[in-house]
Amino acid sequence: MGTADPVAGDRLRAGHGGLGALLGVVCAAQFMVVLDVSVVNVALPSIRDGLGFSETALQWVVNAYALTFAGLLLFGGRLADLFGRRRVFLAGLGVFTAASLAGGLATSAGVLVAARVVQGAGAAVLAPATLTILTASVGEGPRQTRALAAWTAVGLAGGTAGNLLGGVLTEFLTWRSTLLINVPVGMLAAIAAVRSIPRDADREAIVRVDVAGAVLATAGLGASAFGIAQAAPSGWTAPPTLSGIGAGLVLLTGFVVVEARCAAVPLIPLRLLQIRSVSAGNVVMCLAGRA
């Protein structure tokens, strides 16, 4: 993801609202991204009745978002290196918010699923940008530790609150509100981001992109997520499940080989995994995601 800007901290202190405003913006964006993994779960019966989904197709309201999010996440994180953290954050937030509006106003099953795909793509760009902005704008030390703790807690809260908030919105409003609620929040977050996130420095150097690694990682994560998603309706031993997971493992193995031996500028330097704090953090996040 993006490299630290040595003057970002100075710009942040001179900006509107300082660390508190920036932390609020990135945490709000992260909350929305995680929330939308599960916020439509309780609304699925209402969505089925309203748009005429079949039982087998209904699960794609959830899967379309989750698969796209998982598949594009690594590549989305790399975009900040190419175009700048602030630009990528605002672009991801714009796509996510616009797709939420389209999904909330959808009049057919196909339109809703397509909107959820686009929403997942926006989330895959937005989520890593929130973390990159936070780590690059807050210098190492206690302040960064507290900021990262708040970012993590908000992400976990989003996952926990999804079903609860989805149930409340569906009960008292309509299933469409589970998506439309992102629109005002996204617009407010965009306005706050323009004021609080430091501007991107002029980009003089061309960043080399690990295209092979990006393709393998995206395809591998997408295939694995597809296989896992098929386990619920079809079972763990069903051909779609096994083929999806198998293809994902093969592609991700290829990704590791490319990163270790072929890529001049790896998408993920494998040496990072040798850092104990990084490995421990990954384990904690995986366990949190299963909670």
Enclosing H/E stretch for 283:
helix 276-290
User: Is 206 or 200 the better-scoring residue by pLDDT?
Assistant: 200
Q: Can you give the CATH number for the domain in which 93 is found?
A: 1.20.1250.20
Q: What average pLDDT is seen over the chain?
A: 78
Q: Cα separation of 249 and 221, whole Å? A: 9
pLDDT of residue 166: 83
Pick the closest to residue 63 from 175, 225, 172, 213 (CA basis): 225
Q: For the residues 68-81, what does the mean pLDDT come to?
A: 80
Long-range pairs for 31-34: beta carbons < 8 A, 24 or more residues apart: 31/154, 31/155, 31/157, 31/158, 32/96, 32/158, 32/182, 32/185, 32/186, 32/189, 33/69, 33/96, 33/123, 33/126, 33/127, 33/130, 33/158, 34/127, 34/155, 34/156, 34/158, 34/159, 34/162
Q: Indicate if 1 and 43 belong to the same structural domain.
A: yes
Domains in the chain, number? 2
Say whether pLDDT at 273 is over 90: no
Q: Indicate if 66 and 112 belong to the same structural domain.
A: yes
Q: How confident is the model at residue 188 (pLDDT cuts 50, 70, 90)?
A: very high
Torsion of CA 242, 247, 250, 254, to 10 degrees: -160
**CA separation (Å) from 181 to 27, 42, 105, 145, 247?**
16, 15, 12, 30, 36
Q: Indicate if 57 and 130 belong to the same structural domain.
A: yes
Pick the closest to residue 197 from 103, 69, 60, 90 (CA basis): 90
Q: Cα separation of 203 and 134, whole Å? A: 20
Q: Indicate if 41 and 21 belong to the same structural domain.
A: yes
Q: Indicate if 13 and 153 belong to the same structural domain.
A: yes
pLDDT of residue 263: 67
Q: Indicate if 106 and 231 belong to the same structural domain.
A: no
Torsion of CA 252, 2, 33, 281, to 10 degrees: 60
Q: Indicate if 122 and 164 belong to the same structural domain.
A: yes
pLDDT of residue 134: 78
Q: Indicate if 128 and 47 belong to the same structural domain.
A: yes
Last residue of a domain, one of 204, 229, 257: 204
Last residue of a domain, one of 183, 204, 225: 204
Last residue of a domain, one of 204, 239, 273: 204
User: Is 79 or 101 the better-scoring residue by pLDDT?
Assistant: 101
Q: Could you read off the pLDDT of 38-49 as tens digits, one per residue?
A: 888 888 889 988
Centre a 10 Å sphere on the Cβ of residue 220 and count the other Cβ atoms it contains: 23
Q: Indicate if 102 and 232 belong to the same structural domain.
A: no
pLDDT of residue 156: 77
Q: Indicate if 74 and 166 belong to the same structural domain.
A: yes
Q: Indicate if 120 and 225 belong to the same structural domain.
A: no
Q: Could you read off the pLDDT of 235-269 as tens digits, one per residue?
A: 888 888 888 899 989 998 988 888 777 766 666 66
Q: What is the CA radius of gyration of the chain?
A: 19
Share of the chain above pLDDT 90, in %: 16
Q: Indicate if 115 and 98 belong to the same structural domain.
A: yes
Q: Cα separation of 264 and 272, whole Å? A: 16
Q: Could you read off the pLDDT of 105-139 as tens digits, one per residue?
A: 999 999 999 999 999 999 999 888 888 887 777 76
Q: Find the domain containing 127 and state its range.
A: 1-204
